Amino acid sequence: MLVIFDLEGVLVDGEFLPELAKLKGIEDRVWDITLKGIRGEIDWEQGLQMRIAELKGVSYSDCVNVSNSLSLMPGAREVCKTLREMGFMLASVSGGFTILAERVQKELGLDYFFANELVFSADKLDSVVIRVNSNKANSIQGLVKTLKEPKEQIVAVVDGANDLTLFELAGLKVAFCAQPIVESNADVVIKDKDLRLILPAVRKYINSLEDNGIKIRRYR
């Protein structure tokens, strides 16, 4: 079994780039671009490059400090601990950055993470290497194939329009504090900021698989 989480807005209660933008006094401008991408109103890759261009020159230390300041989503620790105990592998797929994804992996004990890479020149933000594009499923499909994980034993928990391709990989699709387009494509909709609320739905889903004679693949 595998759970795929989005990072910002799901495992983390906040968005990295808008917080970073506060340091330059351009939060509204960057947040506006961010929301347009989340809602699917602009090309996601273009929006990311636009935001990085706005923030070019921010120091590496400021980026680290902002990353460290972002709080985990309420219930994230408990959910990840419980899912591991149930036998799930845990992965995050983020259109954000390794500077945050690595920290969250360590704190929550995730097995895998996939994210983009900020590029610094003389300790100043310069550009971005995009490894997770608007088709987020592309970044994790190799892992799914390596694990030989059947679709019915994959759970995806996401919030934005740019996450919808992850739903295509999953047997159980969970919209967490999500955009309307995500909710309309989900099996389960959670509107409150408490990740523990996904657990009853996950347990019910796994029980239904077992009731139908499907052998559950547990990793722990």
pLDDT of residue 38: 67
pTM, to two decimals: 0.93
Average pLDDT over residues 43-70: 92
Distance CA 155, CA 12 (A): 18
Q: What is the dihedral of CA 49, 54, 57, 61, to 10 degrees?
A: -80
- Taking the CA of residue 98 as centre, how many other CA atoms within 13 Å lie in the half-sphere pointing to its CB? 11
Task: Supply the mean pLDDT for the chain.
Answer: 94
Q: At what angle do helices 60-69 and 98-108 cross, to 10 degrees?
A: 40
Q: What digits encode the pLDDT tens for the residues 161-203?
A: 889 999 999 999 999 999 999 999 999 999 999 999 999 999 9
pLDDT of residue 162: 83
User: Which residues have C-beta within 8 Å of that of residue 196, sequence separation ≥ 6?
Assistant: 74, 75, 78, 79
Helices (H) and strands (E) in the chain, counts: 10, 7
Q: Is the pLDDT of residue 37 over 80?
A: no
Whether pLDDT at 144 is above 80:
yes
Domains of the chain: 2-13+71-118+131-211 (3.40.50.1000), 16-69 (1.10.150)
